[in-house]
Structure 1
Amino acid sequence: MSFFNKVRNTIDLLKAVDLDQLAKINSKIDLAEAMKTLGKLDDRQLNGLMRMLKTKDKKGQHELPPIDGDFYNLDLKLTDEQRKIQLDVRNFMEDEIKPLVNEHWKKDKFPFEIIDKFKKLNIVGVPYEGYGCPNLPFLMEGIIAQEIARVDVSTSTFFGVHSGLAMGSIYLCGSEEQKQEWLPKMQKMEKIGAFGLTEPNVGSGVAGGMETTCEFDGENWVLNGQKKWIGNATFADVTIIWARDIENNQVKGFLVKKENPGFSTEKIKDKMALRIVQNAIITLKDCKVPESDRLQNANSFKDTANVLRMTRAGVAWQAVGCARGAYEAALKYTKKREQFGRPIASFQLIQNHLVEMLSNLTSMQTLCFRLSELQDQGMLKDEHASLAKVYCSMRMRDVVSRAREVLGGNGILLKYDVARFVADAEAIYSYEGTKEINSLIVGRAITGYGAFVN
């Protein structure tokens, strides 16, 4: 450190001392000699002295470090533009969404007013090229998913279904005419999308056991069957419906509008997780869809799998966001909550829980960061996305469990947010492929043997 900088730091130190304190110091020590000594201190010693001078009261309280779940400073790897988007989303979620979520979560309602607010962020369809989309790296889609889920997983799911699964299906499988018709409106959130794949009787085995059927009658495609757990479906303008062609047994995709005859939805009630998300059972009864609304490049389940591969990385990032929100809420609580005359953050066992949570969170973040890099480099494989979903959803569960534990009895109250993260984590753990199915995908990749039941 230069002499000038040392003098400047010394002056800053003295500014922290009022005149009465200075007079007391002068009566006890030689200030001139003290100045010489201060000038010889290195950065670490000066910073330590500054922290001592900032002691607030006789209890030994001191300036506490900020609450930040990005312990390895991954945000430093973002460009200035990307960092601005991240902070814009974070501030939006804190200011506009956080005040709403607990009340709507409790009442099982969706706050429709947030759609107009989301429009201003211009973050829909982030990785897509053209059609009004931002065309940013897939990494930013992950960062955005994390920031939204950090405050509310339900909102993140609503956004991911619309921007990822619904728009992604059209982007990857639609004709140019279909893309031009839907993507610009969906990017502006003038039209909201849903994605119908899972069925009442078929979840993990939907690739080979899909019961919803489609049949061409010479004029229209006729769809029959049911879909379950379809987020946004109660109010979406268009739902991507996947159905098995009776003629050739191949899976096809369709753009089904909410006003289509034979299309109806029933809201799923009494959920313990993602209560803001409006999940529905969709019933298709001789639902007629014109050929122009069949996704022209969706001709087998492999095309469906391409959509899932693209969006599964975003679900892993959602798990990161859920874990980060729970960790930061728990850390904040432990600094304020006192027992035996001290903040519980000062207790050894509490610190052990916090460090375990941070270890899990940091490993999840670094894994997902690399996953998104692979995606941006065009190297993403099914097993990459599946491993991230398996690992992050498991570690997320551990983080939210520990967060609930350090809050004690308050951990089950909505007002402290952690209870909501605990409940919503259970939905993330199951959707976009269960742990077992994603484990089999990775297992097949590393052993060369498929262990799926035929």
Structure 2
Amino acid sequence: MATKEEILRELYPEDLFHYADGLTLGEAEVLQETRRLIEKHLRPVINEYWEAPDFPFEEFYAVAKGAQIMNNPKLFEGREGNYKPSELYIAFLYLELARFDASIATFFTVHGGLCYNTILLGGDERQQKEFLPKLAAFDWQGCFALTEPLSGSDIAGGLATTAERVGDKWILNGEKRWIGGSDTADVVPVFARDVADGKVKCFIV
């Protein structure tokens, strides 16, 4: 079995400031496996998808699920009970994906960053238990609906999408724009302004 230092020399010879030294052995092993699976599944087909244009869902999930990039037990050694791997690991995971292909990295940024973190930071315990494990396992795909056509991402005063409580339901009404992954996502956190109190709230759709 390779040591952490050997894996890091293989993966990041350009890391002159030794940022990767802060990774655990388990994190380094997951990153190494991620790169191996990228080369196996995504490298042979990525140019075809650029020409299509389309997204290689099957090949991406072969990488994400194969290496368990969000929920591998190796990522939580000494961090038991956490829903999210360390921020340093996540940074190097983004590096692995982006150095291969910017669109692959963007897809993960939306799913594992914007959607996942919104529920992690803003969801209650029931919502976290219901949604986060499925998102981390890539059984569900997530995206993020904040930006609007007339005001961008201005939640201070420009957010026009409304939310109204009617009985035991919430009615959302408005427009969103540039919601990457919205046509295939299973879970969409949608930001809207509550008509009752004027406050911006987030709704898992």
TM-score normalized by the length of structure 1: 0.39
Structure 1 residue 242 displacement after superposition: 0.2
Structure 1 residue 129 displacement after superposition: 6.4
Q: Deviations over 1:309-335 (max 9, x none)?
A: xxxxxxxxxxxxxxxxxxxxxxxxxxx
Which residue of the partner structure matches residue 253 of structure 1?
Answer: 202
Which residue of the partner structure matches residue 149 of structure 1?
Answer: 98
Which residue of the partner structure matches residue 172 of structure 1?
Answer: 121
Structure 1 residue 68 displacement after superposition: 4.8
Which residue of the partner structure matches residue 339 of structure 1?
Answer: none
Which residue of the partner structure matches residue 26 of structure 2?
Answer: 81
Q: Residue 238 in 1 paired to residue 183 in 2?
A: no
Which residue of the partner structure matches residue 57 of structure 2?
Answer: 112
Distance 1:174 1:73, change over 3 A: closer
Unpaired runs of at least 5, structure 2: 1-11
One-letter identity of the residue aligned with 2:38:
M
Q: Deviations over 1:320-358 (max 9, x none)?
A: xxxxxxxxxxxxxxxxxxxxxxxxxxxxxxxxxxxxxxx
Which residue of the partner structure matches residue 211 of structure 1?
Answer: 160
Q: Distance in 1 between matches of 2:148 and 2:139?
A: 28
Q: Deviations over 1:188-239 (max 9, x none)?
A: 1111111000111112534321011111122311111111111111100111
Which residue of the partner structure matches residue 123 of structure 1?
Answer: 69
Distance 1:198 1:184, change over 3 A: same
One-letter identity of the residue aligned with 1:155:
I
What's the secondary structure of 1:193's corresponding residue? Answer: coil
Q: Residue 99 in 1 paired to residue 15 in 2?
A: no
* Structure with the larger helix share: 1
RMSD over aligned CA atoms reads: 2.3
What's the secondary structure of 2:45's corresponding residue? Answer: helix
Unpaired runs of at least 5, structure 1: 1-66, 257-454
CA contact (8 A) 2:42 2:59 kept: yes
Q: What aligned pairs does 1:383-422 form with structure 2 within 5 A after superposition?
A: none
Q: Distance in 2 between matches of 1:129 and 1:229?
A: 36
One-letter identity of the residue aligned with 1:239:
V
Distance 1:204 1:187, change over 3 A: closer
Q: Deviations over 1:130-164 (max 9, x none)?
A: 48x4x432110111011111101111111121112
Which residue of the partner structure matches residue 70 of structure 1?
Answer: 15
Q: Deviations over 1:153-196 (max 9, x none)?
A: 11111112111211111111112111121111111111111100
CA contact (8 A) 1:210 1:243 kept: yes
Identity between Structure 1 and Structure 2 (%):
38
CA contact (8 A) 2:161 2:172 kept: yes
Which residue of the partner structure matches residue 35 of structure 2?
Answer: 90
Which residue of the partner structure matches residue 422 of structure 1?
Answer: none
Distance 1:130 1:167, change over 3 A: farther
Q: Deviations over 1:98-127 (max 9, x none)?
A: 222222122120112124312121122678
Q: What aligned pairs does 1:222-301 form with structure 2 within 5 A after superposition?
A: 222-256=171-205
Which residue of the partner structure matches residue 49 of structure 1?
Answer: none
Q: Distance in 1 between matches of 2:93 and 2:161?
A: 33
One-letter identity of the residue aligned with 1:108:
P
Q: Distance in 1 between matches of 2:14 and 2:40?
A: 19
What's the secondary structure of 1:85's corresponding residue? Answer: helix
Distance 1:185 1:77, change over 3 A: closer
CA contact (8 A) 1:198 1:206 kept: no
Q: How many residues align?
A: 188
Q: Distance in 1 between matches of 2:188 and 2:80?
A: 22
Higher CA-based Rg: 1
One-letter identity of the residue aligned with 2:109:
G
What's the secondary structure of 1:169's corresponding residue? Answer: helix
CA contact (8 A) 1:167 1:193 kept: yes
What's the secondary structure of 2:177's corresponding residue? Answer: strand
Q: What aligned pairs does 1:421-436 form with structure 2 within 5 A after superposition?
A: none
